[in-house]
């Protein structure tokens, strides 16, 4: 790589940081739950039949960890390297979105990280870590709304959502929910609203100090 190329490359990197920062300032992702929705939609597009969301929110450990796991089509090692770099697209014809790079940026701003484990034909796990008391950390946001929206957009796919804090944990599993509904639709508006309230009440009860 000659000096000019290197210079262009560094400039693009810096520009990238500014664009990402601008998106965030512009209110694109004011809440971490927006990122969660975005990442879960990747799993849906990847034809997952099971998606797991695990949130570990700990004051004691001063961390907010988010794990999103799916059994979808997965990614090759090469692809995993590409997807967190918003500028890789300049060198290929494939369009790559900003969902993963934006979340990675948000994590790293909070002394955290985003790691991707993926295997073609097996699935993908996204591991995110935020320093909980970091001044740059966005609030988690409304998980009731988020889980309701996710469940409403699932077809032939189950969701397990587990939320843990220092005070306890709770789990929502659409397989169990469908059992209780006994043939009734999980996409029924009354059921969806109940799910939203149920999630919010449970998150609140384990988040209180």
Ligand X SMILES: Nc1ncnc2c1ncn2[C@@H]1O[C@H](COP(=O)(O)OP(=O)(O)O)[C@@H](O)[C@H]1O
Q: Where does this chain bind ligand X (CB under 6 A)?
A: 42-43, 46, 70, 72-75, 83, 96-100, 124
* Pattern 45-84, Mg ion, x by CB under 5 A: ----------------------------------------
Report the nearest approach of Mg ion to the CB of residue 43 (Å): 9
DSSP state for residue 138 in the 8-state scheme? P
Q: Tokens in use for 135? A: 């001044």
Of 74 and 112, which has the nearer Cβ to ligand X? Answer: 74
CA–CA gap between residue 131 and residue 108 (Å, rounded): 9
Is residue 124 involved in binding Mg ion (CB under 5 A)? no
From the list Mg ion, ligand X, none, pick the one residue 57 interacts with, judged by a Cβ distance below 5 to 8 Å according to partner type. Answer: none
Q: Tokens in use for 61? A: 């450990």
Which helix (DSSP H) or strand (DSSP E) does residue 179 occupy?
helix 174-181
* Contact between residue 71 and residue 48 where contact means Cβ atoms under 8 Å apart: yes
* Contact between residue 154 and residue 141 where contact means Cβ atoms under 8 Å apart: no
Report the nearest approach of ligand X to the CB of residue 43 (Å): 5
Residues in contact with Mg ion, counted by CB under 5 A, come to a total of 3
Q: Which residues pair with 161 in a beta bridge?
A: 53, 172
CA–CA gap between residue 85 and residue 103 (Å, rounded): 11
Of 80 and 186, which has the nearer Cβ to ligand X? Answer: 80
Quick one: which of 99, 134, 198, 200 contacts Mg ion (CB under 5 A)?
Answer: 99
* Contact between residue 151 and residue 39 where contact means Cβ atoms under 8 Å apart: no
Of 8 and 45, which has the nearer Cβ to ligand X? Answer: 45
* Pattern 33-52, Mg ion, x by CB under 5 A: ---------x----------
* Contact between residue 43 and residue 70 where contact means Cβ atoms under 8 Å apart: yes
Residues at the site binding Mg ion, with contacts judged by CB under 5 A:
42, 97, 99
């Amino acid at each position: 790589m000659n000096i000019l190329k290197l210079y262009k490359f560094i400039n693009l990197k810096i520009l990238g940081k500014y664009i990402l920062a601008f998106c965030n300032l512009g209110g694109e992702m004011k809440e971490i739950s927006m990122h969660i929705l975005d990442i879960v939609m990747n799993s849906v597009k990847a034809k997952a039949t099971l998606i797991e969301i695990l949130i570990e929110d700990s004051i004691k450990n001063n961390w907010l960890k988010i794990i999103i796991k799916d059994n979808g089509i997965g990614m090759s090692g090469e692809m995993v390297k590409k997807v967190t770099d918003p500028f890789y697209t300049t060198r290929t014809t494939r369009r790559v979105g900003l969902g993963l790079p934006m979340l990675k940026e948000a994590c790293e701003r909070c002394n955290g990280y985003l790691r991707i484990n993926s295997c073609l034909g097996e699935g993908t796990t996204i591991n995110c870590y935020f320093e909980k008391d970091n001044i740059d950390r966005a609030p988690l946001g409304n998980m009731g709304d988020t889980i309701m929206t996710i469940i409403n957009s699932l077809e032939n796919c189950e969701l397990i959502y587990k939320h843990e804090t220092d005070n306890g944990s709770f789990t929502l599993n659409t397989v169990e929910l469908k059992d209780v509904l006994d043939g009734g639709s999980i996409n029924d508006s009354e059921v969806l609203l109940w799910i939203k309230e149920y999630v919010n009440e449970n998150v609140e009860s384990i988040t209180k100090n």
